[in-house]
C-alpha cells in the first residue's frame, strides 16, 4: 500500500518531536542579577573543581562497557504519549515521561548489551531475581534544569556516574563507562525534552537504576543485570514550615549507617529501613530524621541530605562545616559543590569535621551556633529551625540570621543550575 503524505508527516513529527517546542522563558529574578554582578568567585574562568573533597576509587576502569554509538531508539507512538501534568500537581516522582533507557548485562553473552531507548513500559522480571531478594541494586538521583535561556542543563553528572560505579562495585554489579551513560541519558532527555518543566520551581528528576536480574537464590554477584533510567517532572521534595525551614528529629536508638557498611553508597537497602523512624518523626511533628551515630551522638545526615552547620569557631571566625566522608556519609554532589564553592569565596572557614549533639547544644547555648541546613539534589538546601532530641526541642536560629550562608549557597547553586551564571559544573544538552 503506498505511503500517504499525511503518514509521512506524522512519521516526521514523531521522530522530530523534540525539535518542535515553542520557546518559553523561565522567570528570571533580580536576585540572580545581583549574584552575577557581585560574585566574581563563581565566574566560570575562576573555578577549577577540586578533588580535595573526593573519595578514592577502589575499582579500575571497566573491562567492557556499553557504548552510546550503539544506542537504538524506538519512539513512542502518538497514542502512547502521556498528557503533561499540571505544574502545581507534580509532587515528587508521581508522573513519568514517555520514554526510558535500558541496557542489559549478560556475562555469558560478553557483558553489556546495546543500550536502547523505548517507550516507557513496565519491566518483566523473574520472581527469583537477586534484586528482589537481596537488594542487589543501586540508584542515582539527578536533575535536568530548563535554564533562563531555555537550554537544558545537567549538574555534574560525572559525579553521579562515579558514585554509581562505586555502589556497583560494592554490590557485585557490573561497572561501566560513565561518559557513555551520560551520552545515552542526554539523548533520552532530548527526546522527552518537553517534560523538563518551564519553571524554576520544578525540574526533571532523573533516576538511573541498576538491578541484579539473575534468577538464582545464591547470594553472589549476578551474571545478569539491567540498567535503566526513568524520568519524572518534580516539584518540592517535602513539606516545610511556613518559613521554609524544617524541624528534624534525632533518635539515638536508630542508626542509618555504621563503619564498614554501605551508608556511603546509594543502595536501596539504606532507605527501606528508614521508613519507621521517619513515620515516628512525622507523628511527633517533625519533617525529617537527623541520623546520629555512636555514644557521642555524632550528626551524620538529615533525611536524604548531607548536613551542614555554620558557627563561630574558637578563633571568633565564622565556620561552615559538614561531617567528613568517613564511610557513614553519602558523598553528595551538592555537598561537594558547596564545599568547593564556599572554599573559593574565602569569606569564612570551610571544614569537614565531626559534629556531635553536645557541640550543637553548647554552641547554641553560647549563641555561637548560627545556622544548620541539609543539602541534596532533591531538596537543594533545606534550612533547619528545630531539633527534637532526648525529650527536648532545640531551637536553631537559622532563619534569624540577616545574611544567612544557606541562602547565599542556595541562590548560587540555583543560579548555576538554571543558567543565570555560566559555570563548569553544568553540562548543556544541545
Ligand atoms: C542519604 C543521602 N545523603 C545525601 C544525599 C545528597 O546527595 P546529592 O547531593 O548527590 O543529591 C542523598 C541524595 O542522594 C542521600 O540519599
In a domain, 345, yes or no: yes
Q: Are residues 217 and 296 in the same domain?
A: no
Q: Are residues 253 and 154 in the same domain?
A: no
Domain end position, chosen among 194, 218, 236: 236
- Residue 101's pLDDT is what? 98
What is the 306 CA–ligand 1 centroid distance (Å)? 6
pLDDT over 90 (residue 174): yes
Please tell me whether residue 85 adopts helix, strand or coil conformation: coil
Q: Are residues 72 and 219 in the same domain?
A: yes
Q: Are residues 60 and 166 in the same domain?
A: yes
pLDDT over 50 (residue 429): yes
Q: Are residues 296 and 350 in the same domain?
A: yes
What is the arithmetic mean of pLDDT over 254-263?
97
What is the arithmetic mean of pLDDT over 16-36?
45
In a domain, 150, yes or no: yes
**E strands along 2-51, which residues?**
none
Domain end position, chosen among 201, 236, 271: 236
Q: How far is CA 147 from CA 17, 18, 235, 338, 398, in A?
A: 20, 17, 16, 20, 29
CA torsion 218→61→185→236, rounded to 10°? 70
Q: Is 319 in the pocket of ligand 1 (CB under 6 A)?
A: no
User: Which is nearest to 58 in space by CA: 168, 159, 160?
Assistant: 168
Give the angle 263-269-272 at the CA atoms, nearest 5°: 110
Q: Are residues 216 and 112 in the same domain?
A: yes
d(CA 179, CA 18): 22
In a domain, 8, yes or no: no
What is the arithmetic mean of pLDDT over 345-356?
96
What is the 238 CA–ligand 1 centroid distance (Å)? 14
Q: Is 138 in the pocket of ligand 1 (CB under 6 A)?
A: no
Residue 147 has which C-alpha cell? 535554564
**Which residue segment(s) compose the domain that 71 sits in?**
44-236
Q: Is the dihedral of CA 322, 426, 157, 383 positive or negative?
A: positive
What is the 133 CA–ligand 1 centroid distance (Å)? 24
Q: Are residues 270 and 412 in the same domain?
A: yes
Euclidean distance between the first and the last CA atom of the chain, given in angstroms as a whole number: 38
Q: Are residues 329 and 347 in the same domain?
A: yes
Ligand 1, residues 266, 289, 381: which to mutate, most atoms within 8 A of Cβ? 266
What is the 330 CA–ligand 1 centroid distance (Å)? 6
In a domain, 9, yes or no: no
Q: Are residues 216 and 253 in the same domain?
A: no
Q: Is 303 in the pocket of ligand 1 (CB under 6 A)?
A: no
Q: Are residues 193 and 90 in the same domain?
A: yes
Task: Render pLDDT for 187-227 as a digit per residue (tens, 0 to 9).
Answer: 999 999 999 999 888 999 999 999 999 999 999 999 999 99
346: which DSSP letter?
T
In a domain, 21, yes or no: no
d(CA 257, CA 235): 28
Specify the residue with its C-alpha closest to ligand 1, atom 5.
305
Over the Cα atoms of the chain, what is R_g?
A: 23
Percent of the chain whose predicted confidence (pLDDT) is above 90: 79
- Residue 240's pLDDT is what? 76
In a domain, 430, yes or no: no
Q: Are residues 294 and 374 in the same domain?
A: yes
Domain end position, chosen among 184, 211, 236: 236
Ligand 1, residues 141, 156, 257, 339: which to mutate, most atoms within 8 A of Cβ? 141
Q: Is 334 in the pocket of ligand 1 (CB under 6 A)?
A: yes
Give pTM, 2 decimals: 0.90
pLDDT over 50 (residue 270): yes
Instruction: Look at the chain and report how many structural domains it folds into.
Output: 2
What is the 332 CA–ligand 1 centroid distance (Å)? 5
Q: What is the CATH number of the domain that holds 337?
A: 3.20.10.10
Q: What is the CATH number of the domain that holds 60?
A: 3.30.470.10
What is the 381 CA–ligand 1 centroid distance (Å)? 11
Q: Is 381 in the pocket of ligand 1 (CB under 6 A)?
A: no
DSSP codes, 113-135: ---EEEE-------TT-HHHHH-
Q: Are residues 202 and 303 in the same domain?
A: no
Amino acid at each position: 500500500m503506498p505511503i500517504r503524505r499525511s503518514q509521512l508527516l506524522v512519521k516526521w513529527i514523531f521522530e522530530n518531536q523534540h525539535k518542535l517546542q515553542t520557546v518559553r522563558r523561565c522567570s528570571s529574578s533580580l536576585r540572580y542579577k545581583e549574584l552575577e554582578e557581585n560574585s566574581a568567585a563563581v565566574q566560570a574562568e575562576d573555578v577549577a573543581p577540586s578533588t580535595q573533597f573526593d573519595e578514592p576509587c577502589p575499582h579500575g576502569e571497566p573491562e567492557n562497557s556499553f557504548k552510546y554509538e550503539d544506542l537504538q531508539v524506538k519512539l513512542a507512538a502518538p497514542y502512547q504519549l502521556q498528557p503533561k501534568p499540571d505544574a502545581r500537581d507534580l509532587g515528587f516522582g508521581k508522573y513519568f515521561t514517555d520514554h526510558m533507557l535500558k541496557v542489559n548485562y549478560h556475562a555469558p553473552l560478553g557483558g553489556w548489551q546495546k543500550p536502547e531507548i523505548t517507550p516507557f513500559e513496565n519491566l518483566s522480571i523473574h520472581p527469583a531475581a537477586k534484586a528482589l531478594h537481596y537488594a542487589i541494586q543501586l540508584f542515582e538521583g539527578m536533575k535536568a534544569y530548563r535554564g533562563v535561556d531555555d537550554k537544558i542543563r545537567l549538574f555534574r553528572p560525572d559525579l553521579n556516574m562515579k558514585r554509581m560505579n562505586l555502589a556497583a562495585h560494592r554490590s557485585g554489579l557490573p561497572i561501566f563507562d560513565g561518559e557513555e551513560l551520560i551520552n545515552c541519558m542526554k539523548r533520552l532527555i532530548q527526546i522527552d525534552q518537553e517534560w523538563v518543566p518551564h519553571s524554576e520551581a520544578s525540574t526533571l528528576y532523573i533516576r538511573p537504576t541498576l538491578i541484579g536480574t539473575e534468577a538464582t537464590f545464591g547470594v553472589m554477584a549476578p551474571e545478569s543485570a539491567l540498567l535503566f533510567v526513568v524520568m519524572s517532572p518534580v516539584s518540592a521534595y517535602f513539606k516545610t514550615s511556613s518559613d521554609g525551614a524544617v524541624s528534624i528529629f534525632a533518635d539515638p536508638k536508630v542508626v542509618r549507617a555504621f563503619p564498614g557498611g554501605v551508608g556511603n553508597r546509594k543502595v536501596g537497602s539504606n532507605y527501606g529501613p528508614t521508613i519507621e523512624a521517619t513515620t515516628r518523626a512525622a507523628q511527633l511533628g517533625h519533617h525529617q530524621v537527623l541520623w546520629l551515630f555512636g555514644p557521642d551522638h555524632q550528626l551524620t545526615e538529615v533525611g536524604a541530605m548531607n548536613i551542614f552547620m555554620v558557627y563561630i569557631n574558637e578563633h571568633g571566625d565564622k565556620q561552615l562545616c559538614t561531617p567528613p566522608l568517613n564511610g557513614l556519609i553519602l558523598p553528595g554532589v551538592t555537598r561537594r559543590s558547596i564545599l568547593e564553592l564556599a572554599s573559593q569565596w574565602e569569606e569564612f572557614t570551610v571544614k569537614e569535621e565531626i559534629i556531635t549533639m553536645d557541640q550543637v547544644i553548647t554552641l547554641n547555648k553560647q549563641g555561637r551556633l548560627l545556622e544548620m541546613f541539609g543539602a541534596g539534589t532533591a531538596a537543594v538546601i533545606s534550612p533547619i529551625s528545630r531539633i527534637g532530641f532526648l525529650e527536648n526541642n532545640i531551637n536553631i536560629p537559622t532563619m534569624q540570621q540577616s545574611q544567612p550562608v544557606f541562602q547565599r549557597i542556595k541562590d548560587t547553586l540555583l543560579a548555576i543550575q538554571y543558567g543565570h551564571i555560566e559555570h563548569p559544573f553544568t553540562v548543556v544538552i544541545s
